[in-house]
A and B are shown apart, each in its own frame.
Chain A
Amino acid sequence: MAKLRTETFTVTPTGVGRKDYSQDVQFSVEPTIRSYQLPYTFQEAYILNAGQTRTIDINVPAGQVVMLYDMLMCCPANVLLSFEVQTIDTDGVVNSVFHKAGYQKVDHHLPRGVPVFSAIRLIMTNNSTLNLTDVQVSLAGQQMSQEEYFMRLMP
């Protein structure tokens, strides 16, 4: 790639009144973590015997929303794992976020996140003939109240 030309745009003040600063009005900043958000992490080690599938539900506190961004399942052996993450809404509707398989590790990142209102369901499968005693699951995201998630204004 080659840059063909650079053009500098200058706003020349003319007449009377306030200067035109429109070139720079978008230099305002956005914090990485807003004041109403808390970090959310979940980390647990599980036993998965050969060929076993385990389903784990992680409850979200009532009135809260967890935004999930990063999900990781791994073990200290080069075996085929399968990992599915589902979200359960307050009305019981189950949505599958992703379902992947991988050797030794399955990870998934969602740049825009996924909201969880009631529970996070993990479905983990060990597709090998080896009994695994240290299957690590790490989840990361943010937590906030439902009012803050929906940005409802206070009366």
Chain B
Amino acid sequence: MAFVVETKGIGRRDYSENIEVATEPFIRSRQLRFFYSIRYTALALTYPNVYEAPLAFLVNGQLQDAAPSTPYLFSFLTVAANRNALVALQFNRYESYQDYLNGNIAEVLGCSYGYEKTDLRFTKPIPTREGSVYSVYIAEFSNLAFNLELAIHGLIGALETLE
């Protein structure tokens, strides 16, 4: 039942019926959304061997390995195979590109195994640090050549900074 506020007297009209129609947007004004999806076709792997996929960032039309000053927020990473085999996903951060080349992982942000598919979900997205290099380990341990779909979702921006 609609509630109508009768206008009477003088002064500003009462619009209180409708002031709460405003919504909270999914994408905030200072955010962009990114989506990364690729199919890896690779030769057979045996546990615990993995492939490493470094993540590149597009800055001013150029791809770069190091995370830019505008943070990327990773909220969802998933790998899926096309058969019921054991798959693995690990999300890594390196302090620098040199550390990436040397294999010195600064921190593992998440690791997950699963049959046919597995994922890492971050309710509060993980922001990148400027200058760090990020990669994912992916694997399927069926001892057969495989196709593995990797997808990564997230937001760009949305870290509060104080003046």
Contact = CB atoms under 8 A, between A and B. Distances in A.
Interface of A: 9, 11, 14-15, 17, 20, 22-27, 29-35, 39, 41, 43, 45, 67, 69-70, 72, 74-76, 78, 104-105, 107, 109-111, 113, 134, 136, 138, 140-142
Contacts of B60: none
Contact of A138 (B19, B21, B28, B120): B120
A33 B25 contact: no
Nearest to A76: B113
B115 to A, nearest CB: 7
Interface residues of B, number: 45
A29 B29 contact: yes
Nearest to B109: A41
Contacts of B118: 74, 105
A146 B160 CA distance: 19
Most buried by A among B31, B48, B110, B126: B110
Interface of B: 12-13, 15, 18-25, 28-31, 47-48, 73, 86, 88, 107-115, 118, 120-127, 141, 155, 158-162
Nearest to A112: B123
Contacts, number: 125
A25 B22 contact: yes
A41 B107 contact: yes
8 contacts: A11-B15, A22-B15, A31-B28, A33-B158, A76-B47, A113-B124, A138-B109, A140-B110
A110 B122 CA distance: 10
Contacts of A111: 123
